[in-house]
Structure 1
Amino acid sequence: MVVEWWSVLPFVILLLSIAVLPLLPATEHAWEKNSVKLLVALACGIPVALWFVIAGHGGEVVHALFEYVQFIMLLLALFVVSGGIFLAGDIRATPRNNTIFLAIGGVIASFIGTTGAAMLLIRPLLNTNKERAHRVHTVVFTIFIVANCGGLLTPLGDPPLFLGFLRGVPFEWTFRLWVEWLFVNALLLLTYYALDRRAYARETDEAIAFDETDVTPLRIRGEMNFVFFAVIIAAVAFVPSLDLHAIETGHATLAQMVPWRELVFLAAALGSYLLGDREVRFSLNQFTWAPILEVAALFIGIFLAMIPALNFLGQVAPQLPLNEVTFFVFSGGLSAFLDNAPTYATFFEMASQLPGEPRIGMAPGVPEAYLVAISLGSVLCGAITYIGNGPNFMTKAVADSAGVAMPSFGGYLRWSLMYLVPILIAMVAVFIADGIVWTILGLLLAGGIGARAVRLARSNVHPSEMDD
């Protein structure tokens, strides 16, 4: 379906609503209600859906709604299961310990998914830091590292890479991105350590003393839920979902008409909720449904309103100057504001029409150099805004419910522009752009980022750290 530029206005209005309404005195309190978020999302999404249905393209609406259901069911299952796990005990919330927390999350994100890793670690991280006043930066970098950049190494790590796996990209291919993964996450961890060192130095002596005395050995409660985590991960990798294409062509078998994967997700969530330790879930984790309801309310509008945006992108793509760098810029820039999975799929199909060897995936395949750029852009740049990747908003919502005053949409964007985007620019210059000059400039930028972090860390030391 051919669409005009103005068809993306509902999506833009929805983004502006998410960014602006929480900041206006007249709307900030109303925006706290999930019912208001749902009304705004539907007001932007339903007119788009009706327009496509009336125009005879209702199939695109059905696909968007089904992808939304798949998206929410996965998030729901991971949210419920992670809510039944509690890391009991309390270690010191020092910069070193917090950085180790994030490093572990950045590793496991590639193997249990960014959503699973973020939901598993955000509550223990908040519990560990409950004595500290300065916690916003810790949640922001959890989104950067655990909810996004850590998930680059396997198709299980992030939804865009799983879409590539479904299109014939070998499971082990993403391991070739380990150098870029290490480059980005190492600089993010170094930057976080420096910022946390500064924040730790600003904590009151009373808060630090309380943190140091309130120390008990760590142990896990709700271990049974790791079984449900394994079930969810196995379902993502091996269990098929409903086959819309077969249904639309009239060739679907009975098995292809059943959403098996989503049923497994639901069973895992119900099993965790009904069989798990209620003290862990409700007393220790203070579990509420508000975070998942907030994500569900906003993303129904996002999935519907972005239908014409993706169509418009497909129309203008042939006129775009496409090479390795621009594939990263376009797929990354749009992944920051559109959900990164459909953005990856759009650029994957676009790249499959271009020449280049070697080619990866089912015939005709995608030139490997372009696939590298698309994969990096879709995964890493999903961290730039709250809506770039599903677990971003989920992590924010859990932090909000724990009393952390998280930044607004625009406030979070400032964080990413200040700390994440320069690292991504350095990565592009070193690993994607052609030419020794770009490599040198990228290394200089990376060196500057590292040197700034080291200076910041050395200049901010709390007396209690002297014994570390």
Structure 2
Amino acid sequence: MNLIADTYAQLEATSFVATTEQPHEEHHGHAEPPAFYSVIPFAALLLCIAFLPLIHKTEEWWEHNKNRFLVAVSLGLVTLLYYTFLYGHGVVDHGTHELSAPGFPAAVVVLKNAILGEYIPFIALLFSLYVISGGIAFNGHLVGRPILNTGILAIGGAIASFIGTTGAAMLLIRPLLKANAKRDYVAHTVIFFIFVVCNTGGCLLPIGDPPLFLGFLRGVPFTWTLSLWPEWLAMNGMLLAVYFVFDTVRYRKENKAKVEAVPEDPEPFALKGGINFLWLLLVIFCVALLDPSKTVPGTNWSAPHFFREGCMFALAGISLLTTSKSIREQNSFNYEAIVEVAALFVGIFICMQAPVQILNVYGASLGIDSPAKFYWATGTLSSFLDNAPTYVVFFETAKSAGGSPPMIAGVSEIELVAISLGAVFMGAMTYIGNGPNFMVKAIAEKNNIRMPSFFGYMFYSCLFLLPLSILLTIFFL
């Protein structure tokens, strides 16, 4: 999709966000859409993520991050070769708003947009949050009963709007896994954690999720998203209720003696590494205030490009220096999960450029003319593409179509509600719908939890999220 804009809402302010300050027609008006077959590398990468872990001959091979990186980069190279030899048109540079020459210069701009404008800010945010939150440990004997697990999910859903879905996820996933360490059935808990903490909890403030931050940058009042509280409460309340029932049924199958056994010398409840909350707060300030496209509030100074990312990397380094090694050892902290995300998303961001460009060109002609259509169109595409540019495309589509008052930032309010909810809520439909989704999956797997495959996860999301989205459409849109 993620601290101030959790997966990189403002992170895209470096380039894409800055571009979207211009009218949609202006920065894409002279760019020709790629051929529809240009989405093949992106689709192929999704299929690799989905199926290679399931095939016996490739399962072990795929477990190595260097092989994931090889596949991702190879498919990204195919996309760049398409822009070099087959596209035949220029590409808009998201930083300068200029149209490149066709051929090799177009491929260079695609690479620049993907890596400099999106990938580096994305990884800087996730890496800093991953490292800093890895220095916070909650001690004490916690038993992963349904009521405790539901409580942790509820807390995560409540704070996600205020520290970003990525921040909330990185803060709470380890205590949740620790509480459930003796349970046999844990994957469903991680799945609902992704639903609530990584996605649906983050719609009340622009700092909660990337699409909403983009809306704020385009003129949506900062506190307007608080008006989404009925939908937020309904979706998260239903998800938590369903999870509690589901986990209660699963808990009955557990070995209660093993799960609830009290250690001979139980640890007292304590928080270790509290200094890292300060570093988390500073990461939030970095993302909120060090936007290269804007002056720092109260000054005439704008941060240079990548100054923000440098500060976030520096804060991660400070966290490593100021946190006891024993705390990270207690958390079983290592870099495997973030390396896995970095290896795959470098290809995802490059391959994604073609389908997003197609969507930018054809979005206004899709015949979307009602709140329900905006919700499902935005949500469906946000499930597989980055939800930030998807949000912007449909924001501009609704803006150009007019609509009935009241209007918010030039968009009919009910349509803006639909676009906002679709981008945030349905980012939970796949592992790649929002940045922290894949991160949480990777952390769970490093803790020996067997998570479902790409389509296995979609089975859960279709089973639980789609019916709730239908109810949301009926009662709110």
Q: TM-score range by the shorter chain?
A: 0.7 to 0.9
Q: Structure 2 counterpart of 1:21, which letter?
A: L
Report matched runs for 1:136-175 at 5 Å: 136-175=187-226
Specify which of 273, 277, 282 is matched with residue 226 of structure 1. 277
- Measured after TM superposition, the shift of residue 160 of structure 1 is 1.0
- Measured after TM superposition, the shift of residue 421 of structure 1 is 1.5
Structure-2 separation of matches of 1:96 and 1:205: 15
Structure-1 separation of matches of 2:256 and 2:209: 41
Q: Structure 2 counterpart of 1:270, which letter?
A: G
Structure-2 separation of matches of 1:218 and 1:256: 42
User: Does the 8 Å CA contact 2:143/2:260 hold for their aligned counterparts?
Assistant: no
User: Does the 8 Å CA contact 1:354/1:367 hold for their aligned counterparts?
Assistant: no
User: Secondary structure at 2:269's aligned position in 1?
Assistant: strand
Q: Check 1:144–1:225 CA distance in 2 against 1; reply closer, same or farther (3 A cut).
A: same
Map Cα deviations across residues 61-100 of structure 1 (whole Å, 9 max, x no partner): 3222221111111101100000000011122221111111
- Measured after TM superposition, the shift of residue 30 of structure 1 is 0.6
Query: Unaligned regions of 5+ residues in structure 2, if any?
Result: 1-31, 85-102, 295-299
Structure-1 separation of matches of 2:269 and 2:177: 14
Specify which of 318, 324, 333 is matched with residue 271 of structure 1. 318
Report matched runs for 1:280-299 at 5 Å: 280-281=327-328, 283-299=329-345
Structure-2 separation of matches of 1:351 and 1:27: 45
Q: How many residues align?
A: 419
Map Cα deviations across residues 124-172 of structure 1 (whole Å, 9 max, x no partner): 0001111111111110111000010000100111111111111121110
Aligned to 1:27: 58
Does the alignment pair 1:93 with 2:140?
no
User: Does the 8 Å CA contact 1:382/1:388 hold for their aligned counterparts?
Assistant: yes
Report matched runs for 1:83-232 at 5 Å: 83-210=134-261, 216-232=267-283
User: Secondary structure at 2:223's aligned position in 1?
Assistant: helix
Aligned to 1:346: 393
Aligned to 1:82: 133
User: Does the 8 Å CA contact 1:114/1:391 hold for their aligned counterparts?
Assistant: yes
Q: Check 1:17–1:10 CA distance in 2 against 1; reply closer, same or farther (3 A cut).
A: same
Does the alignment pair 1:390 with 2:440?
no
Map Cα deviations across residues 162-189 of structure 1 (whole Å, 9 max, x no partner): 1111112111010010000000000000
Aligned to 1:449: none
Q: Check 1:353–1:213 CA distance in 2 against 1; reply closer, same or farther (3 A cut).
A: farther
Aligned to 2:461: 416
- Measured after TM superposition, the shift of residue 358 of structure 1 is 3.0
Aligned to 1:235: 286
Map Cα deviations across residues 346-397 of structure 1 (whole Å, 9 max, x no partner): 2222222111233323xxx322222111110000000000000000000000
Instruction: Judge which range, 365-374 or 46-55, deviates more.
Output: 46-55
Aligned to 2:109: 59
Aligned to 2:445: 400
Aligned to 2:408: 360
Instruction: Judge which range, 290-299 or 306-315, deviates more.
Output: 306-315
Structure-2 separation of matches of 1:222 and 1:36: 35
Question: Which structure dedicates a bigger proportion of its chain to helix?
Answer: 1
Over aligned residues, Cα RMSD in angstroms?
A: 1.8
Query: Unaligned regions of 5+ residues in structure 1, if any?
Result: 244-252, 433-468
Q: Structure 1 counterpart of 2:216, which letter?
A: F
Map Cα deviations across residues 300-353 of structure 1 (whole Å, 9 max, x no partner): 111111111012122332331212111111110011111211211222222221
User: Secondary structure at 2:400's aligned position in 1?
Assistant: coil
User: Secondary structure at 2:379's aligned position in 1?
Assistant: helix
Q: Check 1:37–1:97 CA distance in 2 against 1; reply closer, same or farther (3 A cut).
A: same
Aligned to 1:318: 364
User: Does the 8 Å CA contact 1:383/1:416 hold for their aligned counterparts?
Assistant: yes
Aligned to 1:466: none
Q: Check 1:242–1:30 CA distance in 2 against 1; reply closer, same or farther (3 A cut).
A: farther
Instruction: Judge which range, 220-229 or 309-318, deviates more.
Output: 309-318
User: Does the 8 Å CA contact 1:242/1:257 hold for their aligned counterparts?
Assistant: no
User: Secondary structure at 1:26's aligned position in 2?
Assistant: helix
User: Does the 8 Å CA contact 2:206/2:216 hold for their aligned counterparts?
Assistant: yes
User: Does the 8 Å CA contact 1:131/1:210 hold for their aligned counterparts?
Assistant: no
Q: Check 1:213–1:332 CA distance in 2 against 1; reply closer, same or farther (3 A cut).
A: farther
Specify which of 359, 367, 377 is matched with residue 330 of structure 1. 377
Structure-2 separation of matches of 1:227 and 1:108: 16
Map Cα deviations across residues 407-432 of structure 1 (whole Å, 9 max, x no partner): 11111111111112111111111101
- Measured after TM superposition, the shift of residue 398 of structure 1 is 0.5
Q: Structure 2 counterpart of 1:78, which letter?
A: L
User: Secondary structure at 2:235's aligned position in 1?
Assistant: helix
- How much identity, in percent, do the aligned residues show? 46
User: Secondary structure at 1:353's aligned position in 2?
Assistant: helix
Q: Check 1:256–1:130 CA distance in 2 against 1; reply closer, same or farther (3 A cut).
A: closer
Structure-1 separation of matches of 2:302 and 2:232: 38
Structure-2 separation of matches of 1:392 and 1:287: 18
